[in-house]
Structure 1
Amino acid sequence: MRAPDRRIALGLHRSRHQRDQLTNALDLGITAIDTAFSYRGFASHTILADIGRGLLDRFTISTKVGFFPRPGGAEHSLDPARLIGALEQTNRVLGRAPDLVFLHNPEHSLRDAVTGRAHDALARACAVLADATDKGLCGAWGVSTWDPSPLADAIDTTVAKPAVLMVRCGLLVGVHTLRAADLLAHRWGDHSTQVWGMSPFSGNAHDPVWSRFDARVFLRERPDHVTQVQAAFRTAYALPRVSTVAVGTDNPVHLRELVDALTFEVDEQAVLQYRDLLLGGARQDAHKRS
């Protein structure tokens, strides 16, 4: 069994939710689980409590609230009563308070709101999670956002600061999302706010795109045994800069491959040049449109 390494959280978004996933993760030194109230048709917490019996105390658990069941699917809401109700249910089902609770993709409820209303809705949602933390319903709270663009204009110094901000990361993250994530982290972050990443392969580590270019150019050293997947995963920690990445897989070999990737070092200069290329392309597109 390896020593614990908090740079990877086992994501359960597309997971089959099986006990051997948890034991394999522990063997590899992964002691963090990331799930959500809405995963697996709103059954993730129930399944996790069942398959993790006797194991969950060895993990830190992060989860998310913001999506709620409705006939035929799910709906998003920032209503404080619904958020706190979901968090209370999470505590009952897991039999413990989660270590971290994210506000789940708040942009879904903010995108079409005018700035003032968006600010107020987000401020109320953040305040209820901050209060829940004070009351012991969770160890800390954060914000998980797939599209950070609508959030940057909705926050100011009156909106509570999250302990963790989770954003998409990796080589396939578009330049507009990268810039929005950087802006949000700058406006909302301070020395006590962590930034986590998610979806480092944009949902598919086996996409043919990973064989079309050599992601190893972003590593400081390029040993022969490093794979394209490993190089892409390690580089994801720098696009944008994150301390932990939530990544899901039911394949223990793939999970071991990702853990081994953490031994490599990123070439920061290569990443900066890549970002400059993305920004240059975005400026040219904007110039053409104008």
Structure 2
Amino acid sequence: MSGVLAAGTHRCHDVITAVSAAVDAGVKWIDTAPNYARGMAEVPLREVLERHPPVGVSTKVGFVPASDRRAAISAGVLFGQQSRRGHCLSRPYIAWQVDLSHARLGRAPDLVFVHNPENAASTRDEVLRALTSAFEEMETAADAGLIHGYGVATWTGFSSGLFTVSDLVFLAQRVGGWRHHFHAVQTPVSLVHLGLVAKALRGGGLLLHAREAGIRVFTSAPLGGGGLLALMTPELVHFIDPSATPAQAALRVALSAPGVSHVLLSASTPAHWAEALGAAAREPLPPEHLRRIIDVLGT
């Protein structure tokens, strides 16, 4: 497969059970954020990470969990409008959030994503200024050993044209030089988000530009938060892969996308992970078959 499965915690109700099932099944990467699981996603991971040191972990900065708001205000890193918006990319808040994640996880995160920077401003110039400041703080944290690298996780930033991979690499080089610590992006790819795959198959777009720049691509919501399974008719499953289950058929498309390094999945049981890893163990869908899928479903 082009990509490998990683454990996402966005929709996990019981983080420790879901992540333990993933790691026991052989998953080597966990993605989380301070605002996931009602602000309680990071703390349970410490136990899993201590038991499995080789497992990589990524977290995020930007959103203001309700559970942390009062502490951030008391620490003097969050103020009125930022608190009301629920999102902040100021350097003091990022530094505070990185320190908190480091303490909760019990180790330096392998990656810290700037989370949905499109929430920080409304225009391209404003977003790029916010990202420049955020990258400066990330480079400081990396130099101090508090993180090993950083990236940008976005839902609409790429698709709306607010920024490109080239923009992000340019900012990282300007802030951190040629030895910068910008290593990854995260964005949705699924049967209902096929635009990036279509561009890659035509020889361009984010997925190929990231690969050319040595930037890892983490894709989110491969099953649409579970909602995509209701759209997996027997005819669609058979068209993608006659031998697959509905979940496997959907996952195979995300896993086969050119340039994808990790596909984040929020699965909660050993049976779900066994099913998903069965899809990941297969050869990638050929480019010509991906093109046929896109022709049928659109982007």
Distance 1:184 1:53, change over 3 A: closer
**TM-score (normalizing by structure 2):** 0.77
**Number of the residue aligned with 1:87:** 98
Mapped pair 1:210 → 2:221 = no
- Counterpart of 2:172 (choices 143, 150, 160) is 160
Q: Aligned AA for 1:237?
A: L
User: Match of 1:287?
Assistant: none
Q: 1:237 aligns to what SS in structure 2?
A: helix
Q: In structure 2, do the counterparts of structure 1 residues 151 and 130 end up closer, same or farther at CA, with 3 Å as the change threshold?
A: farther
Moved over 6 A (4+): 71-74
How far has the Cα of 1:145 moved from its partner? 0.9
Closer, same or farther: CA 99–41 of 1 in aligned 2, 3 Å: same
Matched, 1:24 2:18: no
Could you give the per-residue CA deviations for residues 139-196 of structure 1, whole angstroms, max 9, x where no partner exists?
A: 111111111224326936641163011110111115389759x644566664421111
Query: Which consecutive residues of structure 1, in runs of 5 or more, have no partner in the other structure?
Result: 1-5, 283-290
2:272 to 228, 231, 254: 254
> Counterpart of 2:288 in structure 1: which amino acid?
Q
Provide the C-alpha distance between the structure 2 equivalents of 1:246 and 1:81, rounded to a whole number of angstroms.
29
Pairing 1:139–2:148 present:
yes
| Gap change, CA 1:185 and 1:159, over 3 Å in 2 | farther
Instruction: Provide the C-alpha distance between the structure 2 equivalents of 1:188 and 1:130, rounded to a whole number of angstroms.
Output: 20
- Distance of 2:262 and 2:150 partners within structure 1: 15
Change (3 A) 1:175 1:241: same
The answer on 1:121 being equivalent to 2:130 is yes
Give the TM-score of the pair, scaled to structure 1: 0.79
| Kept in 1: contact 2:207–2:260 (CA 8 A) | no
Where 1:200 maps in the other structure, the secondary structure is: coil
Mapping for residues 66-81 of structure 1, pairs under 5 Å: 66-69=62-65, 75-81=86-92
Query: Within 2, Cα distance between the matches of 1:83 and 1:236?
Result: 31
Unpaired segments of 5 or more residues in structure 2?
70-82, 174-181
- Kept in 2, the 8 Å contact 1:84–1:132? The answer is yes
Say whether 1:55 aligns with 2:51.
yes
* Offset at residue 76 of structure 1 (A): 1.4
* SS of aligned partner of 1:97: coil
Pair 229,136 (structure 1): closer, same or farther in 2 beyond 3 Å? same
The match for 1:267 is 286
Supply the distance in 1 between the matched residues of 2:12 and 2:146 (Cα, whole angstroms).
25
CA distance in 2, matches of 1:53, 1:187: 32
Counterpart position of 1:33? 30
> RCO (CA 8 Å, sep 6+): is it higher in 1 or 2?
2
CA–CA separation in structure 2 for the residues paired with 1:99 and 1:36? 13
1:288 corresponds to: none
Once the two structures are TM-superposed, the CA of residue 91 in structure 1 deviates from its matched residue by 0.9
What CA distance in whole angstroms lies between the structure 1 residues aligned with 2:4 and 2:84? 33
When residues 238 and 135 of structure 1 are mapped into structure 2, their CA distance, relative to the original with a 3 A threshold, is same
Q: How far is 1:212 from its partner?
A: 5.4
Distance 2:136 2:199 in 1: 26
SS at match of 1:167: strand
Tell me the residue number matched to 1:193: 215
Distance change (3 Å), C-alpha of 1:84 and 1:150: farther
CA distance in 2, matches of 1:238, 1:123: 32
Q: Identity rate of aligned residues, in percent?
A: 27
1:9–1:245 Cα contact (<8 Å) kept:
yes
Of the candidates 139, 148, 172, which is equivalent to residue 192 of structure 2? 172
Secondary structure (helix, strand or coil) at the match of 1:102 reads strand
Amino acid at match of 2:187: V
How far, CA to CA, are the matches of 2:249 and 2:196 in structure 1?
23
